Chains A and B, each alone.
Chain A
Amino acid sequence: MEPKYWDLIAKKLSGEITAEEDRELNSWLQSDSNAQTFKQVSKLWENTEDPSRDYTPDAETEWQKLQAKINQPKVLFLKRYWLKMAASILLLLGLTYLLSTLFKTSGGATLVEVVTTDSVMVVYLPDSSRVYLNKNTTLTYPEAFNSNERLVFLNGEGFFEVIPGNVPFIIACNGTRTKVLGTSFNIKGYEEDEEVEVIVVTGHVELSDEDDSSSKIVLEPNDRGAFNKKHSGISKSKNTRKDFKWWAKHDLEKDIKKIIRKVKRKIK
Chain B
Amino acid sequence: MSISTIQYEELFRSNHKNLCRLANRIVNDRAGAEDIVQDVFLKVWNSRDTIQTDRPLGGYLYTATTNTALNYLESISRLNKYRKEYQPSNEEKTSQDISLKELQSEVQKALDRMPPKCKVIFVLSRFEELRYKQIAEQLNISVKTVENQMGKALEIMREELKPFLTREFLIIAATAGLSALLHFLSLLLIILQVNRNF
**What residues make up the interface of A, taking CB atoms closer than 8 Å to B?**
1, 3-11, 13-14, 16, 37, 40-41, 43-45, 47-52, 55-57, 59, 62-63, 65-66, 69-70, 73
Contacts and interface: CB of A to CB of B under 8 A. Distances in A.
Nearest to A42: B154
B17 A50 contact: no
A9 to B, nearest CB: 6
A7 B154 CA distance: 8
Contacts of B46: 73
A48 B111 CA distance: 9
B100 A47 contact: yes
Interface in B140-176: 147-148, 150-155, 157-158, 161, 165
Contacts of B183: none
B80 interface: no
A55 B20 contact: yes
B154 A9 contact: yes
A9 B176 CA distance: 31
A10 B154 contact: yes
- Report the contact-size class of chain B (Cβ under 8 Å from the partner): 35 or more
Contacts of A45: 126, 154
B150 A10 contact: yes
B78 interface: no
B155 to A, nearest CB: 5
Interface of B: 9, 12-13, 16-17, 20-22, 24-25, 28, 30, 33-34, 37-38, 41-42, 45-46, 100, 103-104, 107-108, 111, 125-127, 131-132, 147-148, 150-155, 157-158, 161, 165
A52 B158 contact: no
Given A14-B150, A49-B104, A50-B25, A63 B12 contact: yes
Contacts of A16: 131-132, 147
Contacts of B107: 44, 47-49
Contact of A3 (B9, B41, B100, B148): B148
A63 B37 CA distance: 11
A59 B13 contact: yes
B51 to A, nearest CB: 15
B146 to A, nearest CB: 9
14 contacts: A6-B151, A7-B147, A9-B151, A14-B126, A16-B131, A40-B165, A47-B104, A47-B107, A52-B20, A52-B25, A55-B21, A59-B12, A62-B38, A63-B12
Contacts of A63: 9, 12-13, 16
Nearest to A14: B125
Contacts of A73: 46
A55 B13 contact: no
A65 B147 CA distance: 39
A24 B29 CA distance: 39
A39 B13 CA distance: 43
Contacts of B150: 7, 10-11, 14
A5 B158 CA distance: 13
Contacts of B17: 56-57, 59
Given A8-B151, A47-B107, A62-B38, 19 more contacts: A1-B155, A7-B148, A10-B151, A14-B126, A16-B132, A43-B165, A44-B154, A47-B104, A51-B24, A51-B28, A57-B21, A57-B37, A59-B12, A62-B34, A62-B37, A63-B9, A63-B12, A66-B42, A70-B42
Contacts of A7: 147-148, 150-151
Nearest to A58: B34
Question: Which 8 residue pairs are nearest across A and B when measured between Cβ atoms?
Answer: A6-B151, A7-B151, A10-B150, A52-B21, A57-B20, A40-B165, A6-B155, A52-B24
B147 A11 contact: yes
B30 A70 contact: no
Contacts of B152: 3, 6
A51 B123 CA distance: 10
A20 B30 CA distance: 41
A12 B178 CA distance: 39
B151 A50 contact: no
